[in-house]
Amino acid sequence: MKAIDLLGGMTAETFLQDYWHKKPLLIRGALTDVGAPVDLAWLTELSRSEDVESRLIEFKQGKWSLERGPFRPGRLRRLPESDWTILVQNVNHHLPHIADILWRFDFMPYARLDDLMISYAPPGGTVGPHFDSYDVFLLQVGGRKHWQISSQQDEAFIEDAPIKVLKDFRMEEEFVLEHGDMLYLPPRYAHYGVALEAGMTYSIGFRAPSAQELATEFLVYLQDRICIDGRYADPELRPPQEPARLDNSMVEQVGRILSQISWDRHTVTDFLGHYLTEPKPHVFYEAPEEELDEDEFAAAVAATGVELDLKTLILYADDMLYCNGEALPVLADDVAAWQQLANRRRMSPQQLSPSMMPLLLEGYLAGWWQPAGEN
């Protein structure tokens, strides 16, 4: 079993058995080399974009305020010296070295990884005591932050607040995180962080859809794929004494029609492949500015290989592969190479085969991947 630096030298097996979904873990010096700094100027620029989710949270005069981006430059220049936080989602979609940090959490299934959010706060900046419905790793980058955590079951929120702030937070443990320290918290574990110095929190979040969301999305998936023969009919209809009553025979007939709807393991797997790789509504893919033609593309990938776009996710189950909400029509002889691309997010020239080129070219023109080294 391999020791993982991000987990303080712990193995993935130990972490998953003893901590995942169970209890917090503080890891000192988990990751100190985070690459080029993502400072306030960078976050400010990202928060002005239409395809970036961003929020500004302030606590002033005893009240919480929430604004959603995109923000005008002048709005952020008017901020005070303390008591605010700006949060930018999916920074991994925009900066390669931030994406590299997210994919270092490959001791977890990619189907569970969500995004890397960065929040910046000056002294006093906080989003209040709250809990998340999913697991999260909180990595401190620059500055210092005071964290308090609690396993409390009281989940009542402050009424009329624009964000979910716990009304009665009861601290059980507290820590000061410095650059490179990381705190793991299981779902619904209350936490309250306040910046002591200007700095950032890199939040690595995990997907945990509700049962209601899964059921709703599955029904949407089914409606485009089911085909039930027949039509409602009642040739033996008799005049009703109560014309407004739903007749038992109608209810029974419709029940028999609906009972034809069925699914199996393959159906659920196919649904998950489409659903879990479907881009979020604000995510768009850009075709190359200067497109390579077929021969130029083949020469480029033969020299450097292929790497996925920062926004692209490929998942697979056996020989079924899914990318950005669509099934990939992969030939049987090429499945292993495509699975390697999904796992490592890049493919070496040696793994390429001529039969892969049509699909690779199609995805390149859609902006899903590019010759390695162009990201």
Beta bridge partners of 9: none
Q: Could you state, in order of their start, the residue ranges of all structural domains in the chain? A: 3-206, 263-375
Per DSSP (E only), the strands in 214-373 are: 306-308, 314-317, 320-323, 326-328, 346-347, 369-371
CATH class, 263-375 region: alpha beta
**CA neighbor of 302 nearest in space, from 352, 268, 251:** 352
pLDDT at 77: 84
DSSP-based three-state secondary structure for 260: coil
Question: What is the CATH T-level fold of the domain 3-206, as seen in this structure?
Answer: Jelly Rolls (2.60.120)
pLDDT at 23: 97
pLDDT at 88: 97
List C-alpha distances in Å: 156 to 150, 181, 190, 333, 355.
14, 30, 11, 55, 58
pLDDT at 78: 87
Contact 181, 109 (CB under 8 A): no
Give CA–CA dist 134/191, Å, rounded.
Answer: 13
Predicted model pTM: 0.92
DSSP-based three-state secondary structure for 174: strand
What backbone phi and psi angles, to 5 degrees, belong to 170? Answer: -120, 100
pLDDT at 73: 80
Contact 177, 195 (CB under 8 A): no
Contact 36, 193 (CB under 8 A): no
Average pLDDT, 10 consecutive residues per value, the chain (375 residues): 92 97 97 90 92 93 92 87 95 96 96 97 96 96 97 93 94 97 97 97 96 96 91 93 94 94 95 97 91 96 97 97 98 97 97 96 97 82
pLDDT at 375: 62
Which are the contacts of 289, defined by CB distance < 8 A and separation ≥ 6?
none
